[in-house]
Chain A
């Protein structure tokens, strides 16, 4: 008896399994350190140099301090600061796509998980709404370009129907081009969001919904008082990842407008701007833009996280306490 307990004790003190945990997760952290963190600091460092190539001739790197940042924020003669214009383009494009994305995704997630509706053929619907995400964004964008170009089927149909004349061009209007980009982003991502949110809702204790219904809460009350507060961590996660994706929006508008961001650069996003500088390996300016994008992402992510999680922390803790009391 005594012997046995001693061996157990010795084993516990002799082998720390925690160590193996660290070793197993080490590859990720090493990869992260070398391939993400180091390049990140290098980007910041590089943004302080004049460093580009003209044809086959390398210029720099020459230390210029914050000159690249100053250049980015120096207004043109008419007061236009291009990086601000591209930032607002990016924001508008993202919001236009994200609002319907989250509204529809929430709606679908609630419908699919509702124990009262108990929808049949969920697997089928889930697959179908996820489908657009499987297409490469560039291909999807190319498809839209082909559909809406001024020799494309939609233009021809509208012309034949007498709705527009030949001079009409979908790519001449801010609203149509932005609309297309938003629509594509929405189509590509609402399925993904729906599935993540569904997982979140299914993780909520079903008895809460049942008891709320018994207490006389209607569907809307259940949604705002029970589903949303308990879904909030997942929702915030979705929102922040979608936002980071939105700030980095590139392939859809790039391919749709052939990199031009027409009309009048109204659909040119920050990363398209960044790409413009990479044409001549202008690492200085491109680095400065990257750093700005990083800062924007950090700030916005922080704000969203603070706002949404702070708002729902209090009631959640409150209710937990109440619930605990009942059980006791």
Chain B
């Protein structure tokens, strides 16, 4: 249990640092794709976590990102929206007999079709919210939409990569 919590804290630190030190400085096609990998930490939170904790952790994570990006409230709102959506997506995707206790939302555990629905929906929700709040207007709607979708695809790919790179210990632990 302690080990799991420590793992989440380490993942939190690693993802935030990776985001602000490396990924924020990528310039793909002049800003057309801006991946936000830090939400991988939120996607990896335990399935059976109580709703209040999910929302609170989402809010704090977003706030930490806001400090780095000097955008008070922007990442925070996107993360809170995503974590609220996560409650419903998890319920929607739950197996008939419910989740096993301690099951982790990963490709290895849940299978690829489950994961692409789960992560795809949530990343898209987060990115659409974030990009429109960032732009703060609805002209250039389709361009922003395109940016959000392309960035979401990029983020999803990075999430898969992050998962496979850390999968070795995952199997041992089960």
> Do A and B originate from a single complex?
no
Which residues of A does B touch, CB under 8 Å? none
